Amino acid sequence: TALRSTHGLRRPLLLSMERTLSQLADPDEVTRWIRDPALTSPAGIFGSPRMWVMLRMLPGFDLPNFLAGTRLAYGTVTRLMYTRDWDGLRPLVSPEMLSAMQETMDQFGGEGRRVMDVEEEDAIVVESAVLREVQVLQEQDDDESAGRRRCHMDVLITAHEKWSLFDYHEQEPVPPFDGRVRVQETTWRFEGVCVAKPGMVGAGSGDGSGAAASSGDYGDEDGTPQWTVHSIV
């Protein structure tokens, strides 16, 4: 009887271990990301090991693709804000972020100031986008949601900007926002859900079969955002 009981427990335990491993990202790939300064710059003394653990919890997440998307998002979101396109911004940012942007633009208007030339191609040029921190907020362990994890990604974005802030009272641009190129560094927090494909091979596979349904791209093929700008930190 004791042997039968042990055998009965063994299969659920093995299935649980297999499922756990299948939901971990390839450790070699994550290590390459952590060692590449063009992709990551972990914050704090223990930033690297913490980031390594967090990224391993996101099977199929494609960090290079995600960062390419954040570079595009920075220019898009910034331009939409300065042109007051709130309908265009609404699906791209959190409600709190949208409210803060509207307050900023209302303040500019109240002071008799207006952003100029932001739609020029060279008004905003992103030089780099590197991952600073990862937070896995939610793990869903039920069968229907297996492999889905909601997370925050803090990305340090460095951009060269040359749009102008014109003061209608003084009838001149406001320094340093006077059309000269300046370096802008900000950390944007993106929120999204990483979804691993059913049956994907996980830890140590390295065979490319772990592509995720939400691989880290900023938007879906139909243009629906997978990630939104949660806040500026």
- Report if residue 6 sits inside a domain: no
pLDDT per residue as tens digits for the range 30-83: 999 999 999 999 988 889 999 999 999 888 889 999 999 999 999 999 999 999
- Report if residue 84 sits inside a domain: yes
Q: Could you count the other beta carbons within 10 Å of the beta carbon of residue 23?
A: 22
Residue 161 in this model has a pLDDT that exceeds 60: yes
Residues shown for the chain: 233
| pLDDT at residue 6, rounded to an integer | 42
pLDDT per residue as tens digits for the range 126-160: 999 999 999 998 665 554 455 678 899 999 999 99
- Report if residue 14 sits inside a domain: no
Range of the structural domain that residue 81 is part of: 24-232
CATH code where residue 221 lies: 3.10.450
- Report if residue 4 sits inside a domain: no
| pLDDT at residue 197, rounded to an integer | 54
- Report if residue 2 sits inside a domain: no
* Mean of per-residue pLDDT scores for the chain: 81
- Report if residue 77 sits inside a domain: yes
| Total structural domains within the chain | 1
- Report if residue 182 sits inside a domain: yes
Residue 87 makes CB contacts below 8 A (sequence gap 6+) with: none
User: 138 with 168: CB under 8 angstroms?
Assistant: no
Mean per-residue pLDDT for 17-34?
Answer: 74
| pLDDT at residue 213, rounded to an integer | 34
pLDDT per residue as tens digits for the range 78-117: 999 999 999 999 999 999 999 999 999 999 999 999 999 9
- Report if residue 81 sits inside a domain: yes
Mean per-residue pLDDT for 191-196?
Answer: 82
